[in-house]
Amino acid sequence: MISAPPAAPTPERAPSTTSPATRGRGRTSVTALNATLAAAIVVVLVLSGAIGTVEVGVLDAARITLGHLVPGLPWMSDGSLTTLQDQAVWQFRLPRALLAGLAGAGLALAGAIMQVVVRNPLADPYVLGVSSGASVGAVLVIVLGSTAVAGLSLSAAAFAGALVASALVTLLAQQGGRLSPTRMILAGVALGTLFSAITSYLTITTEAQNVVSVLFFLLGSVSAATMSSLPAPIIAVVVACLIVATQARSMNALLTGDESATSLGVNVTRLRGLLLVVASLLTGVIVSVSGGIGFVGLVIPHVARILVGSDHRRMLPVTVLGGGLFLMVADLLARTVAAPTEIPLGILTAFVGAPFFLWLMRRGSATRAGFDR
Amino acid sequence: MRVDFESVSVTLGGTPVLREVSVAVPSGHFVGILGPNGSGKSTLLRTLYRGCRPSAGRVTLDGDDVLGMPRRELARTVAVMLQESSTEFDLTVLELVLLGRAPHHGSFGRDTADDLHIATEALRRVDSLELIDRMVGELSGGQKQRVMLARALAQNGPVLVLDEPTNHLDISHQLELMHLVTTFGRTVIAALHDLNLAVTHCDEVAVMRDGALVAFGPPRDILTPELVREVFAVDARHVLDPASGDSVLAFARPAPSAHRPERTLENS
């Protein structure tokens, strides 16, 4: 076991003769990757402002955006931009691009958290029935009208449904104050199926004109976004990022098992509870404004792991930025490829994401995320 | 640092798993916990690192109840080498060993050059430096076990807990590991299955059966053929190793079963 002769035990901190030339590898490339993702997000944001039925040049889109953020810029009042252009960019295109970005970032983060909480690569933000709970709330409003659901708006009803679902699953899964990952997954699947049945029943018995609205919610869409839909998801994503950032090392420990994390000084029950609450609230907020956008929460965390490994201090920033970028691109495509028809985001994420992910998975570097066992 | 298990009882799901076990481990001693499968060895170790809570009794480190210590401080004091690491989401060997440094830091922040040095040194000591960039999930059982020991070494506490540390190791690495842990001057408590390894390396052994302590003391006094026969239900006798002059234990199935295949003592 030791390379030193048995009679001469090496001092505890003898200078290491072999230096790990390998350690730097992750660091710089992660920084570069994050910078690239952030730059790409800005580019896609400006492109989103420029692309659409009302013609706005890329430069004008950037000027309109800047003009709303910085007061007193000359081009906002010199008549070079029409009101229509200003509205198209600032009232419609930017809010939905931003909401798509926030939803992608939030769902990817929630997915990464849930995968650790239940220690299962197949987990996504919806594993505890959050989206099926939200769907019941939303579909109730669509089918029966807001007054029938205590006057709640669609978003509020969806958020309430999401919270009820995750609270129920957590209650059913816990035993003696302990949350078993397996029980959580099974309870989530069972309750999710039950909620989906309710949604299906409501959908199939309602008038035909409601069905498209229901489908758009189930598959996810940010087409209704306005600037006022942004604050809630902004707060949710920022707060979740801050909380998770303080737990990254403990989350790494949790990857190696409950017993192992305990032996490293992690209060596993408390950590799991905290992460569960963060992921559920984050998912609930996002689903309530953008519906049940699939795929991004399951796959983006894996993409991040393939690229930079499983250490949360490296993979979480990549997950958040990558999720945001991915959904912004998907939404841009959702409203352009079949224009003027709009495609639900969930369909786009699957169409764009699945082939990309499969290609990445088959590359050798997937070994780094433990795909080869 | 001395470790005292004081009348520790543990009940899991209504079933008593440990019954009033008292073991006093003097500072710097290497104590082996022996006993058949399911005798409560691992559970006894778990009460030390708060893997489970005693229903009665307490475990103390230099007199301080482990339940009263902050978890992180306990993890800086008691380093644990577990049998397995979950690999649903795989880490590199270096990342896993660096986790041993987690109790020494906050929950966020980069690994320092110091951490890196300690981790590579730990890997070097367990003869596994060449594995540093491999994925843990790809390793063989024995390689994994050496890496898990490196993690415990990087954790760097005055008390080292080993749960069946040698069960996947080849004979050479078994002997090296047992030797290595005795060279630290740390208090070592290990659940072991190989009685002869315990005899040659442990200062004391605690023999358990059905959750209760059967005997405790220096291994050569305790591990008599009679006791082995009674606790493990095998025939045992001392045979002399002419080279060392020491006696070693030889085992056989109890009498009327000569035609059936040998049952091994190895872990289930």
Q: Please list every residue in chain A whose beta carbon sits closer than 8 Å to the beta carbon of residue B74.
A: 265
Does residue A39 fall inside a structural domain? no
Choose the weakest-confidence range: A89-93, A307-311, A336-340.
A336-340
Q: Across all residues in chain B, what is the average pLDDT?
A: 89
Q: Indicate whether A65 belongs to any domain.
A: no
Does A252 contact B at CB distance below 8 Å? yes
Asked if B82's CB is within 8 angstroms of A22's CB, the reply is no
Q: Do B91 and A248 touch (CB under 8 A)?
A: no
Q: Is A19 on the interface with B (CB under 8 A)?
A: yes
Q: Mean pLDDT, to the nearest integer, of B241-268?
A: 68
The region of weakest confidence among A91-100, A186-195, A210-219, A229-238 is: A210-219
pLDDT surpassing 80 at residue A61: yes
Q: Indicate which of B88, B135, B148, B170 best probes the interface with A, i.e. most A CBs within 10 Å of its own CB.
A: B88
pLDDT category at B137 given cuts 50, 70, 90 is: confident
Closest residue by Cα to residue A333 from A322, A346, A320, A318? A346
Note the pLDDT of residue A16. Answer: 39
pLDDT surpasses 80 at B5:
yes
pLDDT over 80 at B267, yes or no: no
Measured between beta carbons, the chain B residues lying within 8 angstroms of A366 are: none
A119 close to B (CB below 8 A): yes
Peptide bond into A71 cis (omega under 30): no
> Which amino acid would we find at residue A264?
L
Task: Note down the domain range covering A125.
Answer: 102-369
pLDDT at B2 over 90: yes
Cβ–Cβ under 8 Å, residues B101 and B155: yes
CA distance A186 to A200: 21
Rg (C-alpha) for chain B, rounded Å, is 19
Instruction: State the nearest Cα–Cα gap between B22 and chain A, in angstroms.
Output: 22
**Locate tokens 């415990």: which residue?**
B152
Residue B213 CA, chain-centre distance (Å), reads 17
**β-pair type (B64-65, B235-240):** unpaired
Which residue in chain B has the smallest CA separation from A11? B184
Nearest to A314 by CA among A8, A31, A1: A31
3-state secondary structure chain B: CCEEEEEEEEEECCEEEEEEEEEEECCCCEEEEECCCCCCHHHHHHHHCCCCCCCEEEEEECCEEHHHCCHHHHHHHEEEECCCCCCCCCCEHHHHHHHHHHHHCCCCCCCCHHHHHHHHHHHHHCCCHHHCCCEHHHCCHHHHHHHHHHHHHHHCCCEEEEECCCCCCCHHHHHHHHHHHHCCCCEEEEECCCHHHHHHHCCEEEEEECCEEEEEECHHHHCCHHHHHHHHCCEEEEEECCCCCCEEEEEECCHHHCCCCCCCCCCC
Residues of chain A with pLDDT > 70, as a percent, come to: 90
Smallest CA–CA separation between A34 and chain B, in Å? 17
Tell if the CB–CB gap between B102 and A257 is shorter than 8 Å: no
Select the residue of B85, B87, B176 nearest A373 (Cβ to Cβ). Answer: B87
pLDDT band at B152 (very low <50, low <70, confident <90, very high): very high
B155 interaction partners in chain A (CB closer than 8 Å) = 264
- Output Rg (C-alpha) for chain A, integer angstroms: 23
Q: Which CATH class is domain B3-257?
A: alpha beta
Q: Which two tokens stand for residue A70?
A: 């910085």
Q: Which residues contact B249 (CB under 8 A, 6 or more apart)?
A: B195, B196, B199, B223, B225, B228, B236, B237, B238, B239
Q: What is the pLDDT of residues A312-342, one digit of tens each?
A: 999 999 999 999 999 999 999 988 888 778 8
What is the bridge-based pairing of β-strands B187-191 and B159-163? parallel
Q: In what order do the strands lie in the sheet with B204-209?
A: B78-81, B159-163, B187-191, B30-34, B204-209, B212-217
Q: Would residue A340 be called left, alpha or beta, if left means φ above 0 and alpha means ψ between -120 and 50 degrees?
A: alpha
- Which of A31-40, A237-246, A333-342, B46-55 has the weakest average pLDDT? A333-342
Measured CA angle at A243 (ends A240, A246), to 5 deg: 145
- Minimal CA–CA distance to B159: which of B190, B198, B194, B127? B190
Q: What token pair was written down for B239?
A: 């045979």
Query: How would residue A366 be classed by pLDDT, with cut points 50, 70 and 90?
Result: low
**Across residues B116-131, what is the average pLDDT?**
93
- Between the alpha carbon of residue B221 and those of residues B107, B149, B196, B215, the distances in Å are 47, 29, 13, 10
Residue with tokens 């109790």: B103
Chain A: give the shortest CA distance to residue B205, in Å: 23
Q: A257 touching B, CB under 8 A?
A: yes
Closest by Cβ to B102, choosing from A253, A305, A368: A253
Provide mean pLDDT across the span A180-202.
90
The whole-number pLDDT of residue A25 equals: 47
CA-CA-CA-CA dihedral for B69, B75, B78, B79, to nearest 10: 170
Question: What are the angstrom distances between the C-alpha of A301 and each of A111, A119, A121, A334, B187?
Answer: 7, 13, 9, 22, 41
pLDDT of residue B110: 82
- Considering CB atoms only, which of A10, A120, A252 is closest to B88? A120
- Give the whole-angstrom CA distance, residue B83 versus residue B163: 6
Most confident of A20-29, A287-296, B244-253: A287-296
Nearest CA to B177 among B204, B200, B139, B146? Answer: B146
- Closest CA of chain B from A86, distance in Å: 43
pLDDT of residue A9: 37
**Burial of A277: CB neighbours in 10 Å, binned 0-12, 13-18, 19+:** middle
Cα–Cα–Cα angle for B123, B127, B131, rounded to 5 degrees: 60
pLDDT of A91 above 90: no
Q: Check CB contact under 8 Å for B138 and A245.
A: no
Burial tier of A59 (Cβ tally within 10 Å: 0-12, 13-18, 19+): exposed
> Could you state, in order of their start, the residue ranges of all structural domains in chain B?
3-257
Q: Does A245 touch chain B (CB under 8 A)?
A: yes
Q: Is the per-residue pLDDT at A347 higher than 50?
A: yes
Least confident segment among A17-21, A296-300, B72-76? A17-21
Q: Residues A86-106: what's their mean pLDDT?
A: 92
Helix/strand number for chain A, H first, E second: 15, 2
Cβ-Cβ contacts under 8 Å, A373 against chain B: 87, 90, 137-138
Question: pLDDT band for position A73 (50/70/90)?
Answer: confident
pLDDT in tens, B180-215: 888 878 999 999 999 999 999 999 999 999 999 999
Lowest mean pLDDT among A97-106, A261-270, B198-207, B258-267: B258-267
Distance, in angstroms, between A176 CA and closest chain B CA? Answer: 10
Distance (Å, rounded) from C-alpha A58 to C-alpha B20?
77
| A11-15, A81-85, B57-61, B166-170: least confident range | A11-15
Q: Does A11 touch chain B (CB under 8 A)?
A: no
Question: A265: which residues sit within 8 A by CB, 6+ positions away?
Answer: B70, B71, B72, B73, B74, B75, B76, B102, B103
Q: Which residues of A touch B109 (CB under 8 A)?
A: 249
Residues in chain B, overall count: 268
Residue A155 contacts B where some CB pair is shorter than 8 Å: no
* Range 274-313 of A in CB contact (< 8 A) with B: 305, 309-311, 313
Percent of the residues in chain A that have a pLDDT greater than 90, as a whole number: 41
At residue B151, does pLDDT exceed 50?
yes
A228 by DSSP, 3-state: which?
A: helix
Grade residue A58 by pLDDT with cuts at 50, 70 and 90.
confident
Label residue B241 exposed, middle or buried (CB < 10 Å: 0-12, 13-18, 19+). Answer: exposed
Average pLDDT over residues B56-70: 94
User: What is the model's pLDDT at position A27?
Assistant: 52
Of A26 and B5, more confident: B5
Q: Which residues of A touch B102 (CB under 8 A)?
A: 249-250, 252-253, 264-266
Structure confidence at residue A343 (pLDDT) = 84
Q: What is the CATH number of the domain that holds A347?
A: 1.10.3470.10
Interface test with B, best of A263, A266, A303 (most B CBs within 10 A): A263
Tell me the nearest-neighbour CA distance from A160 into chain B, angstroms: 32
- Site of tokens 């290990």: B190
Closest partner CB to B124 (pick from A3, A23, A310):
A3
**Which pLDDT score, from 0 to 100, does residue B187 have?**
95
Q: Is residue A197 assigned to a domain? A: yes
Tell whether the model's pLDDT for residue B233 goes beyond 80: yes
- The answer to whether A20 contacts chain B (CB < 8 Å) is yes
| Residue scoring higher pLDDT (B123 or A24) | B123
Q: d(Cα B17, Cα B14) in Å, to the nearest integer?
A: 9
pLDDT on residue A372: 57
Q: pLDDT tier at A20 (50, 70, 90 boundaries)?
A: very low
- Give the three-class secondary structure for A122: coil
State the total domains in chain A: 1
CB atoms within 10 A of CB B266: 10
* pLDDT one-digit tens code per residue, A116-174: 998 888 888 888 888 889 999 989 998 888 777 777 888 899 999 999 998 999 898 88
Residues sharing a CB contact under 8 Å with residue B158, sequence separation 6 or more, in sequence order: B1, B77, B186, B187
Closest CA to A311 of A368, A361, A272, A358: A368
In angstroms, the separation between the Cα of residue B132 and the nearest Cα of chain A is 8
* Cβ contact, residue pair B71, A249, below 8 Å: no
Measure the CA–CA gap between A276 and A274, rounded to whole angstroms.
5
Predicted pLDDT at B18: 95
Q: Nearest by CB to B51, from A2, A259, A372: name it.
A: A259
Any domain includes A318: yes
Q: Return mean pLDDT, chain A.
A: 85
Question: Which chain A residues are within 8 Å of B173, Cβ to Cβ?
Answer: 1
Whether the Cβ atoms of residue A342 and residue A335 lie closer than 8 Å to each other? yes
Helix, strand or coil, per DSSP, at residue A178: strand
